[in-house]
Amino acid sequence: MNNTLKTTLLSTILCCAISGQAQAHFGMLIPDQNSIEQSKKSTSLTLSFSHPFEGIGMDMALPEKFTVTTGTTTTDLLKSLQPTTVMDHKAWKTSYTFKRPGIYQFTMTPAPYWEPAEDLSIIHYTKTIIPAYGDDEGWDVPVGLPTEIVPLLRPFGNYAGNSFSGQVLLQGKPAPGAEVEVEFYNKDGALKAPGDYHVTQLVKADQNGVFNFTCPWGGWWGFAALSEADYTIKDPEGKDKGVEIGAVLWIYLDPKPQAEK
Domain residue limits, the chain: 39-254
Contact 49, 86 (CB under 8 A): no
HSE-up of 90 (CA within 13 Å, CB side)?
Answer: 8
pTM: 0.89
Mean residue pLDDT of the chain comes to 91
Closest CA to 67 of 98, 108, 29: 108
Query: What average pLDDT does this structure show over 46-58?
Result: 96
| Rounded Cα–Cα distance for residues 138 and 163 (Å) | 20
The model's pLDDT over 136-188, given as tens digits with 9 standing for 90+, comes to: 999 999 999 999 999 999 999 999 999 999 999 999 999 999 999 999 999 99
Closest CA to 31 of 99, 90, 107: 107
Q: Are strands 89-97 and 158-159 parallel, antiparallel or unpaired?
A: unpaired
Q: Are strands 158-159 and 243-254 parallel, antiparallel or unpaired?
A: parallel
Radius of gyration of the chain, Cα coordinates, nearest whole angstrom: 19
DSSP secondary structure letters along 212-235: EEE--SSEEEEEEEEEE-SS-EE-
Q: Are strands 42-51 and 26-31 parallel, antiparallel or unpaired?
A: antiparallel
| Rounded Cα–Cα distance for residues 242 and 232 (Å) | 5
